[in-house]
Amino acid sequence: MSEDFSAAAAAFPAPFRLMVREASTSTNDDLRQLAEEGAKDGLVLLALRQTAGRGRRGAVWFSPPGESLAFSILLRPAEPKALWPRLALCAGLAVAEAIESFGPAAGIKWPNDVWIDGRKVAGILVEAGSGHVVVGIGLNVGARQFPAEIADVATSLRIETGIDFPAGEVLCAVIRRMAVRRKHLDASFGITIDAVRSRCVLSGHEVSFLTAAGPRSGIVEGIAPGGELLVREGPDVRKFMQADEIRILA
């Protein structure tokens, strides 16, 4: 995936603009530092090689150079901070829609994974700071195979379509959809929720997951208007805004 991203950057909608670094331990960490130094809304930091990318709860993100996109987006939302967690769903939907523009149908594993045909093609890590949000995205574009330990659960656009899509085109598609979805945090969030619900891969399944209060399990009933996961535990349906290590049991 050695290519010039200048054409992709030129096609970004305002206020998005691109910064490319040859290497980064974590684009989220680097962009957070730039945010704290005053970087403006819309900065996209792309690493051609990311050496210590991570997912939720510090999980390692497999990001081989030349085969995947590793980038982070700086947002400074005008909406109340209480609504910022919704950006995880907005970002997941933006990535899913971008993937669909290249052919495959995409599913969303609430709140921050994007799947194709039951396997993970992208992971998203949203981290809020003082006055800003960093949205980190890892997207498998050109990978033809994965290490044995994740080969059954990971996929790429190349594997699913047999086509080598230019990474710049894929990046631009994500940014274009993010520009749209970031506007739907408040009154129009229902538009995003409807689109996420139609792609939710958890609905109707029995799942286990972790919360701050400990492990939980139940049947996923869907997604609430505020973006919370609805889980039936016995006779009760409960809402969860944060959950980790969600596993489909049946």
User: SS3 for 44-81, per residue?
Assistant: EEEECCECCCECHHHCECCCCCCCEEEEEEEECCCCCH
The pairing of strands 236-240 and 244-248 is unpaired
Measured from the Cβ of residue 210, the count of other Cβ atoms closer than 10 Å reads 15
pLDDT for 59 beyond 70: no
d(CA 57, CA 173): 28
What pLDDT digit, counting tens, does each position of 160-176 carry? Answer: 999 999 999 999 999 99
Q: Mean pLDDT, to the nearest integer, of 14-30?
A: 95
Spatial contact of 227 and 86, defined as CB atoms under 8 Å apart: yes
pLDDT band at 2 (very low <50, low <70, confident <90, very high): very low
pLDDT for 53 beyond 60: no
Average pLDDT of the chain, as a whole number:
92
Measured from the Cβ of residue 237, the count of other Cβ atoms closer than 10 Å reads 14
Domain ranges of the chain: 6-197, 206-248
Q: Mean pLDDT, to the nearest integer, of 197-220?
A: 96
Structure tokens at 178: 């993010």
Spatial contact of 31 and 196, defined as CB atoms under 8 Å apart: no
pLDDT for 67 beyond 90: no
Contact partners, residue 126, CB within 8 Å, separation at least 6: 85, 87, 88, 91, 112, 133, 134, 135, 136
Is CATH 3.40.50.880 the right assignment for the domain spanning 6-197?
A: no
pLDDT for 235 beyond 60: yes
Question: What pLDDT is stored for residue 1 in this prediction?
Answer: 41
pLDDT for 194 beyond 80: yes
What pLDDT digit, counting tens, does each position of 126-165 carry? Answer: 999 999 999 999 999 999 988 888 889 999 999 999 999 9
Structure tokens at 250: 């049946």
Question: What pLDDT is stored for residue 54 in this prediction?
Answer: 53
Question: What pLDDT is stored for residue 62 in this prediction?
Answer: 59
Question: What pLDDT is stored for residue 208 in this prediction?
Answer: 97
Spatial contact of 205 and 243, defined as CB atoms under 8 Å apart: no
Question: What pLDDT is stored for residue 151 in this prediction?
Answer: 87
What pLDDT digit, counting tens, does each position of 34-46 carry? Answer: 999 999 999 999 9
What pLDDT digit, counting tens, does each position of 77-126 carry? Answer: 999 999 999 999 999 999 999 999 999 999 999 988 999 999 999 999 99
**CATH number assigned to the domain covering 206-248:** 2.30.30
